[in-house]
Amino acid sequence: MISLSDLEKQALALLPKAHADYFIGGSEREVTANANLQSFDGLQLWPRVLRGNFEGDLNIDLLGSQLDYPILAAPTAFHKLAHPEGELATARAIARCNSLMIVSMASNTAIETITEAAYEVNPRAGIWLQIYIQPDRDFTRRLIRRAEKSDCKGLVVTVDSPVFGVRERDIRNNFSELPEGLYCANMKDPDGIFRDIDFDSGLNWNDIAWLRDNTQLPIILKGILHPEDIRLAIQHNLQSVMISNHGGRQLDGVPATIHVLPLLAQAADGRIRLLVDGGIRSGSDVLKALALGADAVAIGRPVIWGLAVDGEQGVQAVFQHLHKQLLSSVRLCGCRNRDDINSGLIFTPNNQEAKPYG
């Protein structure tokens, strides 16, 4: 693989148009979806030279999951639209990379089957389940129990979706139903009926407290963009948040995640683990996010591109590619250890006072 851009072109050429548009599309005019990508281009790395070798590694303990490097798979729906093996291929690939997969509530494969496939490849693999808290709290509670019994390591709660975003590509393509034979496998109720995923427009911090009372799993809030919400998450004793604008698929016109990351890192002040997604397409993008305060990054669409092009091997190649590029970028920046990965790596034309590192 030369680049994720090349991989994306291959994947889009292979997928039916409606499915390609579903995966790549954003909401409304797709301003935020495009800004996520473009914002990284506006950040410049500021290298040092003659610094010797990078000592150490990039592994991370993420809420009890041991990752070889700080890159994980963001939750994305409907993997069987990209490849017949769907989430099973994705889970096996990520397990082989000793990374972590956040399984979407809208996966085409049940969480029990996904965890079984991942742990068969690598018992140390990380699997978290992403959920929308359903208006039917009993159903939500049952799904949490399924995640616990499946040995999921974390629960990711999407909090930026009181209603569904306006996705114009899907409207034009009349894409509102899955092809025959595909379902949201995690939405099967005790009667064997597959439910639709509902959004709770009244969701608030009391519901997060309810969730804490109903599971011992670590809870990660996904969809945080404002520093005040970081402070509230800390007050509610949460261990981690994911800085995310839903890939530009919910509210259009919100900031790119990398632009708000420094403000949220300042608000967090090391008291809560920060994950970030949105627009990461290279190892240098990963390094920029880490330098600005992220503990780890999550990738969504690139996983789908790898899956569409070459199944399990394609997803594995995406992670290996980003890991290799990240190590190269760290060394080219003159970082000698992990402590050197800080905001001093980022050149800001309006403030040319260098923050020293090393």
Q: Which residues are annotated as a binding site for glyoxylate?
A: 22, 132, 167, 246, 249
Bind-site residues: 22, 75-77, 104, 130, 132, 158, 167, 222, 244, 246, 249, 277-281, 300-301
For residues 276 and 294, is the Cβ–Cβ distance under 8 A?
yes
SS3 326: helix
- CA dist., res. 213 & res. 307, Å (int): 37
- Which of 79, 83, 246, 259 is catalytic? The answer is 246
SS3 157: strand
- CA dist., res. 64 & res. 105, Å (int): 22
Bind-site residues for FMN: 75-77, 104, 130, 158, 222, 244, 277-281, 300-301
- CA dist., res. 5 & res. 252, Å (int): 23
User: Which pairing describes strands 65-67 and 60-62: parallel, antiparallel, or unpaired?
Assistant: antiparallel
Q: CA neighbours within 13 Å on the CB side: how many for 63? A: 24
- CA dist., res. 93 & res. 308, Å (int): 13
Phi–psi pair at 63, nearest 5 degrees = 55, 40
Written as one string, the DSSP assignment of 203-215 is --HHHHHHHHHT-
* Residue 83 bears catalytic tag: no
Residues with catalytic annotation?
A: 246
